[in-house]
Amino acid sequence: MTRNDEWIVEESTELLKYLYEVMASRSRNSVKAILNRGQVIVNGTVTTQFNDPLAPGDRVQIHTRVATESVSMTGVTIIHEDEDLIVIEKEAGLLSIASNDEKHLTAYRQLTNYVRNVRPENRIFVVHRLDRDTSGIMIFAKNKEVQQTLQNSWQESVPERAYVALVEGTVKEDGTVISWLTENKTFMVYSSQRENDGQKAITHYKVLQSNRNFSLLQVNLETGRKNQIRVHMKDIDHPVVGDKKYGSRNNSLGRLGLHAHAIAFIHPTSGEKMRFESKVPAVFMRTFNK
Protein backbone atom coordinates (compact mmCIF):
# COMPACT_ATOMS: atom_id res chain seq x y z
CA MET A 1 0.00 0.00 0.00
CA THR A 2 1.01 3.61 -0.51
CA ARG A 3 0.67 5.68 2.64
CA ASN A 4 -0.50 9.26 2.21
CA ASP A 5 -1.41 10.71 5.65
CA GLU A 6 -1.30 9.48 9.25
CA TRP A 7 -2.48 10.92 12.58
CA ILE A 8 -2.58 9.92 16.27
CA VAL A 9 -5.91 10.67 17.95
CA GLU A 10 -5.68 12.99 20.98
CA GLU A 11 -9.32 13.14 22.15
CA SER A 12 -12.24 10.68 22.07
CA THR A 13 -14.50 11.28 19.05
CA GLU A 14 -16.18 9.57 16.10
CA LEU A 15 -14.28 8.71 12.94
CA LEU A 16 -16.04 10.91 10.37
CA LYS A 17 -16.01 13.95 12.66
CA TYR A 18 -12.28 13.40 13.21
CA LEU A 19 -11.64 13.08 9.47
CA TYR A 20 -13.47 16.35 8.81
CA GLU A 21 -11.11 18.05 11.28
CA VAL A 22 -7.79 16.62 10.10
CA MET A 23 -8.75 16.91 6.43
CA ALA A 24 -10.28 20.37 6.66
CA SER A 25 -8.86 21.41 3.29
CA ARG A 26 -11.07 18.84 1.53
CA SER A 27 -14.80 19.07 0.92
CA ARG A 28 -17.07 16.97 3.14
CA ASN A 29 -18.16 14.91 0.12
CA SER A 30 -14.53 14.16 -0.70
CA VAL A 31 -13.85 13.00 2.87
CA LYS A 32 -16.95 10.77 2.83
CA ALA A 33 -15.82 9.28 -0.49
CA ILE A 34 -12.40 8.43 0.96
CA LEU A 35 -14.10 6.63 3.84
CA ASN A 36 -16.60 4.85 1.58
CA ARG A 37 -13.85 3.55 -0.72
CA GLY A 38 -12.04 1.80 2.09
CA GLN A 39 -9.04 4.13 2.17
CA VAL A 40 -9.24 4.76 5.92
CA ILE A 41 -7.28 2.45 8.23
CA VAL A 42 -7.71 2.64 12.02
CA ASN A 43 -5.10 0.78 14.08
CA GLY A 44 -4.18 -1.30 11.03
CA THR A 45 -7.74 -2.28 10.06
CA VAL A 46 -9.70 -0.93 7.07
CA THR A 47 -13.03 0.60 8.03
CA THR A 48 -15.87 2.31 6.17
CA GLN A 49 -18.03 3.06 9.27
CA PHE A 50 -18.48 6.82 9.80
CA ASN A 51 -19.47 6.43 13.47
CA ASP A 52 -16.59 4.18 14.58
CA PRO A 53 -15.44 5.45 18.00
CA LEU A 54 -11.90 6.78 18.31
CA ALA A 55 -9.92 6.90 21.56
CA PRO A 56 -6.71 8.80 22.46
CA GLY A 57 -3.71 7.00 20.99
CA ASP A 58 -5.59 5.45 18.06
CA ARG A 59 -3.69 5.61 14.76
CA VAL A 60 -5.64 6.80 11.70
CA GLN A 61 -4.14 6.41 8.23
CA ILE A 62 -5.27 7.34 4.73
CA HIS A 63 -3.93 5.16 1.95
CA THR A 64 -3.79 6.18 -1.70
CA ARG A 65 -4.01 2.53 -2.70
CA VAL A 66 -7.49 1.39 -1.78
CA ALA A 67 -6.96 -2.34 -2.17
CA THR A 68 -4.43 -4.71 -0.75
CA GLU A 69 -1.50 -6.01 -2.71
CA SER A 70 -2.77 -9.56 -2.27
CA VAL A 71 -4.72 -9.23 -5.54
CA SER A 72 -2.44 -10.56 -8.29
CA MET A 73 -2.85 -9.22 -11.81
CA THR A 74 -1.60 -10.51 -15.15
CA GLY A 75 -0.40 -8.06 -17.76
CA VAL A 76 -1.39 -5.03 -15.65
CA THR A 77 0.89 -2.73 -13.65
CA ILE A 78 -0.60 0.16 -11.66
CA ILE A 79 1.57 3.28 -12.02
CA HIS A 80 -0.78 5.79 -10.32
CA GLU A 81 -3.87 5.60 -8.16
CA ASP A 82 -5.90 8.23 -6.32
CA GLU A 83 -9.49 8.66 -5.16
CA ASP A 84 -10.80 9.08 -8.70
CA LEU A 85 -8.45 7.37 -11.14
CA ILE A 86 -6.18 4.40 -11.79
CA VAL A 87 -3.46 4.71 -14.43
CA ILE A 88 -1.98 1.43 -15.64
CA GLU A 89 0.52 -0.06 -18.04
CA LYS A 90 -1.08 -2.83 -20.10
CA GLU A 91 0.96 -5.54 -21.75
CA ALA A 92 0.45 -6.50 -25.39
CA GLY A 93 -2.01 -9.38 -25.80
CA LEU A 94 -4.34 -8.35 -22.97
CA LEU A 95 -7.83 -7.08 -23.79
CA SER A 96 -8.90 -3.76 -22.27
CA ILE A 97 -12.46 -4.99 -21.77
CA ALA A 98 -14.39 -8.20 -22.44
CA SER A 99 -15.13 -9.50 -25.93
CA ASN A 100 -17.04 -12.51 -27.22
CA ASP A 101 -13.84 -14.56 -26.94
CA GLU A 102 -12.49 -13.39 -23.59
CA LYS A 103 -14.84 -12.85 -20.67
CA HIS A 104 -12.50 -12.87 -17.70
CA LEU A 105 -8.83 -12.02 -18.25
CA THR A 106 -9.10 -8.36 -19.18
CA ALA A 107 -7.61 -5.22 -17.69
CA TYR A 108 -11.11 -4.10 -16.70
CA ARG A 109 -11.99 -7.35 -14.91
CA GLN A 110 -8.70 -7.50 -13.03
CA LEU A 111 -8.96 -3.89 -11.85
CA THR A 112 -12.57 -4.49 -10.80
CA ASN A 113 -11.43 -7.40 -8.63
CA TYR A 114 -8.63 -5.19 -7.30
CA VAL A 115 -10.91 -2.42 -5.99
CA ARG A 116 -13.59 -4.84 -4.80
CA ASN A 117 -11.04 -6.58 -2.64
CA VAL A 118 -11.63 -3.78 -0.13
CA ARG A 119 -15.31 -3.03 -0.73
CA PRO A 120 -17.63 -5.20 -2.86
CA GLU A 121 -19.56 -2.15 -4.09
CA ASN A 122 -16.48 -0.50 -5.61
CA ARG A 123 -16.48 -0.20 -9.41
CA ILE A 124 -14.19 0.64 -12.32
CA PHE A 125 -15.17 2.63 -15.43
CA VAL A 126 -13.42 2.57 -18.81
CA VAL A 127 -12.19 6.00 -19.91
CA HIS A 128 -10.54 4.91 -23.18
CA ARG A 129 -9.27 1.67 -24.73
CA LEU A 130 -6.18 0.17 -26.28
CA ASP A 131 -6.27 -2.56 -28.92
CA ARG A 132 -5.55 -6.01 -27.53
CA ASP A 133 -2.11 -6.14 -29.18
CA THR A 134 -1.12 -2.58 -28.23
CA SER A 135 0.81 -2.13 -24.99
CA GLY A 136 1.15 0.96 -22.82
CA ILE A 137 -0.70 3.46 -20.68
CA MET A 138 -4.43 3.46 -19.97
CA ILE A 139 -6.70 5.44 -17.64
CA PHE A 140 -9.63 3.96 -15.70
CA ALA A 141 -12.06 5.97 -13.54
CA LYS A 142 -13.37 4.92 -10.14
CA ASN A 143 -16.75 6.59 -10.57
CA LYS A 144 -19.14 7.47 -13.38
CA GLU A 145 -18.80 11.22 -12.90
CA VAL A 146 -15.04 11.20 -13.45
CA GLN A 147 -15.40 8.91 -16.46
CA GLN A 148 -17.96 11.19 -18.10
CA THR A 149 -16.02 14.36 -17.27
CA LEU A 150 -12.92 13.03 -19.00
CA GLN A 151 -14.77 11.55 -21.97
CA ASN A 152 -16.94 14.62 -22.57
CA SER A 153 -13.96 16.99 -22.47
CA TRP A 154 -11.36 14.65 -23.98
CA GLN A 155 -9.94 17.14 -26.50
CA GLU A 156 -9.48 19.81 -23.83
CA SER A 157 -8.57 17.55 -20.90
CA VAL A 158 -6.01 15.36 -22.69
CA PRO A 159 -3.46 17.66 -24.40
CA GLU A 160 -1.03 14.82 -25.12
CA ARG A 161 -1.52 11.23 -26.17
CA ALA A 162 1.69 9.87 -27.66
CA TYR A 163 2.48 6.45 -29.09
CA VAL A 164 5.64 4.80 -30.36
CA ALA A 165 5.22 2.74 -33.52
CA LEU A 166 7.70 0.42 -35.20
CA VAL A 167 6.76 0.41 -38.88
CA GLU A 168 8.02 -1.30 -42.01
CA GLY A 169 10.37 0.52 -44.37
CA THR A 170 12.30 3.78 -44.18
CA VAL A 171 10.17 6.79 -43.30
CA LYS A 172 12.19 9.73 -44.61
CA GLU A 173 10.47 12.69 -42.94
CA ASP A 174 7.93 13.73 -40.32
CA GLY A 175 4.35 14.19 -41.42
CA THR A 176 0.60 14.33 -40.75
CA VAL A 177 -2.14 12.06 -42.04
CA ILE A 178 -5.73 13.35 -42.32
CA SER A 179 -8.55 11.12 -43.50
CA TRP A 180 -12.08 9.95 -42.71
CA LEU A 181 -12.46 6.49 -41.17
CA THR A 182 -15.34 4.01 -41.41
CA GLU A 183 -15.72 0.49 -40.03
CA ASN A 184 -17.42 -2.36 -41.89
CA LYS A 185 -19.33 -5.36 -40.53
CA THR A 186 -16.14 -7.43 -40.24
CA PHE A 187 -14.59 -4.73 -37.99
CA MET A 188 -12.14 -3.60 -40.68
CA VAL A 189 -11.53 0.14 -40.64
CA TYR A 190 -11.21 1.90 -43.99
CA SER A 191 -9.68 5.29 -44.75
CA SER A 192 -11.16 7.81 -47.20
CA GLN A 193 -9.92 11.14 -48.50
CA ARG A 194 -13.48 12.26 -49.17
CA GLU A 195 -14.51 14.88 -46.65
CA ASN A 196 -17.11 13.70 -44.11
CA ASP A 197 -16.93 10.12 -45.45
CA GLY A 198 -16.75 8.73 -41.91
CA GLN A 199 -15.09 10.09 -38.75
CA LYS A 200 -12.32 12.62 -39.28
CA ALA A 201 -8.95 11.35 -38.02
CA ILE A 202 -5.70 13.30 -37.66
CA THR A 203 -2.37 11.63 -36.90
CA HIS A 204 1.00 13.38 -36.54
CA TYR A 205 4.22 11.37 -36.72
CA LYS A 206 7.90 12.09 -36.13
CA VAL A 207 10.82 9.87 -37.15
CA LEU A 208 12.91 8.83 -34.14
CA GLN A 209 15.15 6.22 -35.80
CA SER A 210 15.26 4.38 -39.10
CA ASN A 211 17.30 1.93 -41.13
CA ARG A 212 16.79 0.11 -44.44
CA ASN A 213 13.98 -2.09 -43.12
CA PHE A 214 12.27 -0.32 -40.23
CA SER A 215 11.43 3.07 -38.75
CA LEU A 216 10.61 4.00 -35.17
CA LEU A 217 8.04 6.77 -35.03
CA GLN A 218 6.58 8.95 -32.31
CA VAL A 219 2.91 9.27 -33.11
CA ASN A 220 0.64 11.91 -31.61
CA LEU A 221 -3.11 11.67 -31.96
CA GLU A 222 -5.20 14.75 -32.56
CA THR A 223 -8.27 12.49 -32.69
CA GLY A 224 -8.74 9.06 -31.12
CA ARG A 225 -10.51 6.82 -33.62
CA LYS A 226 -10.53 3.02 -33.58
CA ASN A 227 -7.40 1.56 -35.26
CA GLN A 228 -6.44 5.11 -36.29
CA ILE A 229 -2.67 4.74 -36.15
CA ARG A 230 -2.71 1.32 -37.78
CA VAL A 231 -4.86 2.52 -40.68
CA HIS A 232 -2.88 5.74 -41.16
CA MET A 233 0.43 3.89 -41.22
CA LYS A 234 -1.02 1.70 -43.96
CA ASP A 235 -2.08 4.88 -45.78
CA ILE A 236 1.55 6.07 -45.97
CA ASP A 237 2.71 2.59 -47.07
CA HIS A 238 4.55 1.91 -43.80
CA PRO A 239 2.30 -0.53 -41.91
CA VAL A 240 2.94 -1.23 -38.23
CA VAL A 241 5.17 -4.28 -37.82
CA GLY A 242 3.11 -7.37 -37.01
CA ASP A 243 -0.14 -5.77 -38.19
CA LYS A 244 -1.25 -8.36 -40.75
CA LYS A 245 -4.77 -6.90 -40.69
CA TYR A 246 -3.50 -3.65 -42.16
CA GLY A 247 -0.85 -4.81 -44.58
CA SER A 248 2.22 -5.84 -42.58
CA ARG A 249 4.28 -8.71 -43.97
CA ASN A 250 6.74 -8.76 -41.09
CA ASN A 251 6.14 -10.43 -37.72
CA SER A 252 9.69 -10.28 -36.37
CA LEU A 253 8.51 -8.84 -33.03
CA GLY A 254 6.01 -11.60 -32.32
CA ARG A 255 3.57 -8.83 -31.41
CA LEU A 256 2.15 -5.58 -32.77
CA GLY A 257 4.75 -2.79 -32.98
CA LEU A 258 2.56 -0.22 -31.25
CA HIS A 259 2.95 1.16 -27.71
CA ALA A 260 0.99 3.87 -25.86
CA HIS A 261 4.04 5.77 -24.68
CA ALA A 262 2.72 8.83 -22.83
CA ILE A 263 -0.45 10.58 -21.76
CA ALA A 264 -1.00 13.97 -20.16
CA PHE A 265 -4.34 15.10 -18.78
CA ILE A 266 -6.02 17.62 -16.52
CA HIS A 267 -7.21 15.79 -13.41
CA PRO A 268 -11.03 16.09 -13.43
CA THR A 269 -11.26 16.72 -9.69
CA SER A 270 -8.11 18.57 -8.64
CA GLY A 271 -7.48 20.43 -11.90
CA GLU A 272 -3.82 19.40 -11.69
CA LYS A 273 -1.97 18.62 -14.93
CA MET A 274 -0.65 15.06 -14.77
CA ARG A 275 1.66 13.22 -17.16
CA PHE A 276 2.70 9.56 -17.27
CA GLU A 277 5.24 7.94 -19.53
CA SER A 278 6.01 4.29 -20.28
CA LYS A 279 9.35 3.05 -21.61
CA VAL A 280 9.62 2.03 -25.24
CA PRO A 281 9.55 -1.80 -25.28
CA ALA A 282 13.10 -3.15 -25.55
CA VAL A 283 12.07 -5.46 -28.38
CA PHE A 284 11.34 -2.38 -30.54
CA MET A 285 14.91 -1.12 -30.07
CA ARG A 286 16.64 -4.41 -30.91
CA THR A 287 15.85 -3.75 -34.55
CA PHE A 288 18.31 -0.83 -34.50
CA ASN A 289 21.02 -2.44 -32.34
CA LYS A 290 21.94 -5.18 -34.79
Catalytic residues: 131
Give the span between the Cα atoms of 234 and 202, in whole angstroms. Answer: 14
Rounded Cα distance, 171 and 148, in Å: 38
User: What are the CA-CA distances from residue 5 to residues 40, 66, 129 (Å)?
Assistant: 10, 13, 33
Output the CA–CA distances (angstroms, integers) from residue 66 to 39, 46, 195, 211, 242, in the order listed: 5, 9, 47, 47, 38
Amino acid, res. 197: D
Contact 86, 140 (CB under 8 A): yes
Nearest to 40 by CA among 63, 56, 23, 17: 63
- With a CB cutoff of 8 Å and minimum separation 6, the contacts of 46 are 38, 40, 118
- 142 close to 37: Cβ distance less than 8 angstroms: yes
Taking every pair of Cα atoms in the chain, the longest distance, rounded to a whole number of angstroms, is: 73
In degrees and rounded to multiples of 5, residue 279 shows phi and psi of: -60, 145
| Distance, CA of 113 to CA of 221 (rounded, Å) | 31
Give φ, ψ of 11 to 5 degrees.
Answer: -135, 150
